[in-house]
Amino acid sequence: MDIIYSHTNNWYHADFARRLYADLPEPLRTTTRLLNVVEWLDSDPSNHVVVVNWEEAVREPRLGARVAELCSRVAHIPRRTLLSAECVGTTWFELQFAEGIAWTDFIEVGWFGYPLPEPYRRLSYHVLGTVATRAELKQFQQLSAALDQVPAQGEHRPLPWAFVGMRTPERIAFARELVRWQPNGFLFLAEPGPARPGSGRLTGDGLERLLHQARLYIWRTQHAVPYFETFRVHDALRCGALPVKIDPDHAADFATVPCVFPSLTAMQEALATSGWANLLAAMYAAALARPALGDAFAAIITGQPPASHAVQPV
């Protein structure tokens, strides 16, 4: 099996591809290769290719004039698995199918799955259900256990909140709410586009340094459809910050996780009644209830996905 990805288009998904490969259980890892799309075109392919976010892989800047070659090669591999990290129902999701690749398997990257649009409902659809490696789950256990030793409202962290994302009118308005509530947070709203070098977006290291100082990693939804940003939650938990999503229209769809609120006021009430440390402990518990990344992926690939990978009804 070959896992291929774009190595310069988006550090988020390149990092995910590397973490997935490193977390694969044996003997699957021994029989798997991790290659960027250019390396893959220069090698002999296996009969099963797993593409991490095709819409980015096919637009890898270093492909140059080899896009048609990539499309042709992928199309002729017997088993073609798409690992999708895009919100179902958006333009970015539709770009996963723009080149007409007939995927044999479709795996949703994240905690929840979503009803597919009509043209894609015949696909073999699976929900990965996790993005945390075995080592990261162990780290979550340690961070959760240490919460007994910190202030209940997280006052030991200097930044009350960090709000990072793409700029939209709704997010600009929400930023004003945040500043009125707690004026000393960190705000960074960038123009839409991939998180590639030179894009002006935060790097992985920069985001990690920021979240180690923030009590809340907060964001407002940018989609008109339900979507749970699993990577954001994962980034926060790795750094000991409380992930918080504000979604006025779809918070009820994610009632099983204690980090999605319909408004800033609802979040403030939860902090006042439960406390920052208790809410963060609940989020660690939710993450630890899920399997490790490599194990969940291996179960799907071998045809035995665990029951915890249920699709979220929306």
Q: What secondary structure does DSSP assign to 72-97, as a single string?
A: HHHHTSSEEEEEE-S-TTSHHHHGGG
Helix axes 169-181 and 264-274, enclosed angle (nearest 10): 40
Q: What's the count of helices (H) and strands (E) in the chain, helices before strands? A: 12, 11
Characterise 246 by phi-psi region: left (phi > 0), alpha (psi -120 to 50), beta (else). beta
Q: Please tell me the predicted confidence (pLDDT) of residue 306.
A: 54
Cis peptide before 27 (omega within 30 of 0): yes
For residue 259, give the DSSP letter: T
**What's the pTM value of the predicted model, to 2 decimals?**
0.93
Q: Write out the DSSP string of 114-177.
A: -PPPGGGTTS-EEE------HHHHHHHHHHHHGGGGS-TT-TTSSEEEEEEEE--HHHHHHHHH
Q: Write out the DSSP string of 212-245.
A: TTEEEEEEE---SS----HHHHHHHHHTTPEEEE
Closest CA to 261 of 251, 271, 269: 251
- What span, in angstroms and rounded, lies between the C-alpha atoms of 243 and 132? 15
- What span, in angstroms and rounded, lies between the C-alpha atoms of 296 and 242? 25
**What is the pLDDT tens value at each position of the chain, 314 positions in all?**
999 999 998 888 999 999 999 999 999 999 999 999 999 999 999 999 999 999 999 999 999 999 999 999 999 999 999 999 999 989 999 999 999 999 999 999 999 999 999 999 999 999 999 999 999 999 999 999 999 999 999 999 999 999 998 888 999 999 999 999 999 999 999 877 666 666 667 888 999 999 999 999 999 988 889 999 999 999 999 999 999 999 999 999 999 999 999 999 999 999 999 999 999 999 999 999 999 999 999 999 998 765 444 445 33
Do the Cβ atoms of 126 and 107 come closer than 8 Å? yes
